Every structure is written in structure tokens, then in C-alpha cells.
Amino acid sequence: SQQGEEDPQALSIQEGENATMNCSYKTSINNLQWYRQNSGRGLVHLILIRSNEREKHSGRLRVTLDTSKKSSSLLITASRAADTASYFCAPVGGFGELIWGAGTKLIIKP
Amino acid sequence: NAGVMQNPRHLVRRRGQEARLRCSPMKGHSHVYWYRQLPEEGLKFMVYLQKENIIDESGMPKERFSAEFPKEGPSILRIQQVVRGDSAAYFCASSYREMNTEAFFGQGTRLTVV
């Protein structure tokens, strides 16, 4: 399956530090998306990166994609308490469906 | 332009009852995806629909679950004879076309089977 697998499963850092989360997948993709989910809440789209892109920025977020290694990373710089959430990467399947991993639980300590 | 609307937000059903979850996609979106998130787990794809058509239901349990997206009205995810294991958050996403575009998510319906 194309399931995204996030690493680490949990990450706890001090406010102000950078947080890096990695994602690996198994087959060819058209694009890969990152989402955030606050505890018990809905999903927030963060970034979509296409297979022909290597890096993308959005505010404090930086996403990289290495299709040769079938991996992606999400970097959050200068973390804030409000960044505490679960982060999911989702490669896109053949019908445009998102194939989810278990996510990374990020905790930002004040 | 309202976002993806799911209702109800919370649904409690007794074992054996039916659960009907509704999803109204964003205006102009004709692609709807349903996902299920079990407690403390990630999301899993269930079904992909376009208007009046089920395109991919490979993630749907074979029994008791069905989905539709009629020409008019919201998409419906129907769970018959619910069991405790059906308790989960069900999310709907819509996009104006498949691939290459962001999927916009609703807030989810949290189903609790008692």
C-alpha cells in the first residue's frame, strides 16, 4: 500500500525549538499532503507537494520531498505551544484518496 | 462559500441501530471521500464517490456499511446494525477534481455506539 508512515511517533520539544517529522511511503505518488489534527478536532491542511517538487515553504513550515527515497519531511521552525497537535502525511492514491499513516504526536513544552 | 459541512457532529446510537452520517461538499466540488479514524489511530480511507457514482469503495467494510452521493443533496454514509467497534470519528473531504488538489475536510462526525 502507499500508506504514509510517520517517524517519530511522538516528539516533545521546548517552545522555540524546531520540530522535524519524517514520512516514508511505498509506491509512486502524484502528490503528498501534510495535515494537522488538534486533539479530538478536525483536520487542517498544511501543505501539498507535488512529485516534481523538492521543497515547499509556507510560513514556519518547510516540506521536502525525495521521490528517489520515497520520503518526505515536515519542519516547523520556532515552534509554539499552539503547534501541539498530531501531524499526518498522506500520499495520494490512484483515485485522489489520501492514504494515511498513524501520525506524529507533537508536544511543545512552554 | 461554506466549507465542507458534516452533520451531526456527534451521534450516539445503541447497538443494532442505524447511523446516517451526512456530508455536504464545498460548492462546486463533485468528489467526496470518506475516512474513518478509530480512537488513538490514524485515518483510513473508506470510499470515494462522485455524483451518483461510487468510484472506489475498497476501504469499506463488506457488510453493514454503504455510501451514496446523489445528484441532489449531501453524501450519506450509512451504517446498519451498529456495533461498538463502529465507534469512531468519520471525516468527509471534498475536492473539485481528483489528484493534484487539496482535499477540504469537514469537522467530522463522532459516532459513539453504546
Could you please report the per-residue DSSP string of A25-72? Answer: -SS--SEEEEEEE-TTS-EEEEEEEETT-SEEEETTEEEEEETTTTEE
Q: How far is A14 from chain B (nearest CA, A)?
A: 24
3-class DSSP state of A9: coil
pLDDT values of chain A reduced to their tens digit, one per residue, 110 residues: 446 678 888 999 999 999 999 999 887 888 899 999 887 778 888 999 999 999 999 999 999 999 999 999 999 999 999 999 999 999 887 778 888 887 899 999 99
Whether pLDDT at B98 is above 70:
no
Residues in CB range of B63: below 8 A, 6 or more apart: none
Q: Pick from A41, A45, A88: which is nearest to B102 by CB?
A: A45
- State the Cα–Cα distance between residues B50 and B56, nearest whole angstrom: 10
Nearest CA in chain B to A88: B42
pLDDT surpassing 60 at residue B1? no
- Name the residue among A44, A50, A102 with its Cβ closest to that of B42: A102
The distance of B99 to chain A (nearest Cα, Å) reads 4
User: How much is the mean pLDDT over chain B?
Assistant: 91
pLDDT at residue A65, as a whole number: 96
CA B89, A93, A86, B42: dihedral to nearest 10 degrees? 40
